[in-house]
Amino acid sequence: MKRLILLAGLVAVAGCNQSEPAPEPTETATTAPAPVMLTANGSAPGAYTATTPEGTVTTSTLKADGTYTDTDADGKVTAEGTWAVTDGKTCFTPTTEGVEAMCYTESPAGADGTFTATPDKGDPVTVKPAAAPAAE
């Protein structure tokens, strides 16, 4: 009887020493961060004022999601749509009726962020970073 108890005790101890099989590794879905959209000259999304040679000022707010809004000097929305870099140019595709799509060749930005944007049609404009227009 003592041998049976001793044998049962050894079997119990041996059973405790067996490790559980390691769990199967599971795949975890990792999502790479979305690339940051930049204009053709490497400028980041944000608000920019564009001044024509005649002195007309427009503010363009480029969002990281690829949308934009143009406002005039009085803050009135003049165009909305999407923007993207195509063939080395920053291109705007408006959803606003009557506004034409336009692509711009941009010079490198200066130390203060100012650059020249030359449209496919028309005169170059001077572009510089600006504060975003206040939300209504």
C-alpha 62/C-alpha 44 separation (Å) is 8
Q: Per the structure, how many domains does the chain have?
A: 1
Residue 56 lies in a domain: yes
pTM for the whole structure: 0.70
- The one-letter amino acid at 19: S
What residues does 118 pair with on adjacent strands?
Answer: 105
C-alpha 136/C-alpha 25 separation (Å) is 52
Residues in the chain: 136
* Other beta carbons within 10 Å of 87: 8
C-alpha 75/C-alpha 108 separation (Å) is 28
Q: pLDDT digit string (tens) for 7-25?
A: 333 334 444 455 555 666 5
97-108: average pLDDT: 96
Report the CATH number at residue 83.
2.40.128.640
Q: How confident is the model at residue 27 (pLDDT cuts 50, 70, 90)?
A: low
Q: Which of 4-8, 18-22, 52-56, 119-123 has the lowest mean pLDDT?
A: 4-8
Residue 11 lies in a domain: no
Which residue range(s) make up the domain with 117?
46-130
103: its two tokens: 């692509």
C-alpha 78/C-alpha 9 separation (Å) is 87
Residue 22 lies in a domain: no
Residue 118 lies in a domain: yes
* Other beta carbons within 10 Å of 103: 21
